[in-house]
Amino acid sequence: ESESENKLDGETASDSESKSEFGGSPPVPTSDDTPEVLNRALSNLSSRWKNWWVRGILTLAMITFFFIIIYLGPMVLMTIVMCVQIKCFHEIITIGYNVYHSYDLPWFRTLSWYFLLCVNYFFYGETVTDYFFTLVQREEPLRILSKYHRFISFALYLTGFCMFVLSLVKKHYRLQFYMFGWTHVTLLIVVTQSHLIIHNLFEGMIWFIVPISCVICNDIMAYMFGFFFGRTPLIKLSPKKTWEGFIGGFFATVLFGLLLSYVMSGYRCFTCPVEFNNDTNSFTVDCEPSELFQLQEYNIPLVLQSVVGWKTVRMYPFQIHSIALSTFASLIGPFGGFFASGFKRAFKIKDFANTIPGHGGIMDRFDCQYLMATFVNVYIASFIRGPNPSKLIQQFLTLRPDQQLHIFNTLKAHLVDKGMLGGLEDA
């Protein structure tokens, strides 16, 4: 056992450790779970073309479902994000549970789901406090929970931490710490980034739909270009990926992002921030569009004028940002998929689960989306979002009267110094 502990480099060492310490071989690839109707309809095709049609049909079904949940509104979208998060967590935890033969570990599954509950309570509590501030202040129980939210979250986590320590069994120490780390890395990858997806949604549905659609488009177009033109392998982690698919997917995704952004920028329901209306107790998406979503005229570089025959072009500023989003989705986003491929190869599994025939599990479809969500959130914070006056006013109104008066006098003196007010007596 001491020798196997030292074998930490390479696939062979990992395999030998799994077999010697955990009593068995890693999971085998999943079996074919294609619906019988499709199997009969496509029985005369080769396996290559059969897989193409199965993936294509179910991709269209998923895109249709995506359109339906967009139509149903922000609340349904947030619910779907939560459901996807839970399913992805379940798939990854199940792999760990099976690979490490954790059936004899006390409280492992219970603690894994308990930590998921704690982390969600923390993140969603922060979101409620931030975006439903007026509602929280209006309801006394919510106001108390909001005031002590971080302390409660920390206390919940400490409870789980102590439960884990108490569950340690002498013959399973190392295995239990493996699984403790497995659970926390899964929480970091899945829960944290799904929380960022919801934050992006509150900035406006366009910040939710365009990035996700760009990843979907790149996935589809890279597959199409690779299927018909692919000759040159791209990366060893994913042998079916080709340079032709990678490059073709990039150009197709950038073009798709520009067109989709142009269409969506003209509708307030997509461009306005998602806000909670305290009068109707519902979400509202209505505002005066910012400059980001107003048509402007741009000069075309002289080099391109002779090619396109135009000197200027009218477009939305958001379309320029969409180039950055689609470029990330097509050049960096696939590395989320490569990471997932490496993970699956490490444990000798084909897919995370058998949820979607031809596609694998939910995590197989969202491995790039989580990386994209983090980029979009960082991009908005760095280049788009400015101070929010309405949130500042909400926080100002919760202060004590003497604190409010102090801020008022400070602000008034500042405006007088800048010449925006004629004098203290005029104000």
How confident is the model over 366-378, as pLDDT tens digits? 888 888 999 999 9
The stretch 73-88 carries a mean pLDDT of: 90
**Biggest distance spanned by C-alpha atoms of the chain:** 89
153 or 358: which carries more pLDDT confidence? 153
Q: Is there a contact between 28 and 20 (Cβ–Cβ < 8 Å)?
A: no
Residue-level pLDDT at 103: 62
Of 7-21, 282-296, 322-336, highest mean pLDDT: 322-336
Structural tokens at position 70: 């967009």
Percent of the chain past pLDDT 70, that is, above it, reads 86
6 or 242: which carries more pLDDT confidence? 242
Q: Indicate the angle between helix axes 362-379 and 205-229, nearest 10 degrees.
A: 130
Q: How far is CA 114 from the centre of its chain?
A: 22
**pLDDT for 117-136, tens place per residue?**
999 999 998 888 887 777 77
* CA atoms 195, 197, 198, 202: torsion sign: positive
* DSSP assignment of 204-263: -HHHHHHHHHHHHHHHHHHHHHHHHH--SEEETTEEEEEHHHHHHHHHHHHHHHHHHHHH
pLDDT at 63 over 70: yes
Residue-level pLDDT at 8: 36
pLDDT at 6 over 50: no
**pLDDT for 238-263, tens place per residue?**
888 899 999 999 999 999 999 999 99
Closest CA to 214 of 260, 262, 268: 260
Write out the E strands in 47-205: none
Mean model confidence pLDDT for the chain? 83
**pLDDT for 349-406, tens place per residue?**
888 888 877 677 888 888 888 889 999 999 999 998 766 676 777 777 778 889 889 9
Residue-level pLDDT at 102: 62
Residue-level pLDDT at 221: 93
3-state DSSP helix/strand/coil % of the chain, to nearest 5: 70, 5, 20
Residue-level pLDDT at 33: 60
The stretch 275-294 carries a mean pLDDT of: 80
The stretch 137-162 carries a mean pLDDT of: 91
Residue-level pLDDT at 422: 64
Q: How many CA atoms lie within 13 A of 74 on its CB side?
A: 24
Residue 37's pLDDT band, with cuts at 50, 70 and 90, is low
* CA atoms 144, 145, 151, 155: torsion sign: positive
Fill in the amino acid letter for 129. T
Range of weakest confidence among 76-90, 206-220, 283-297: 283-297
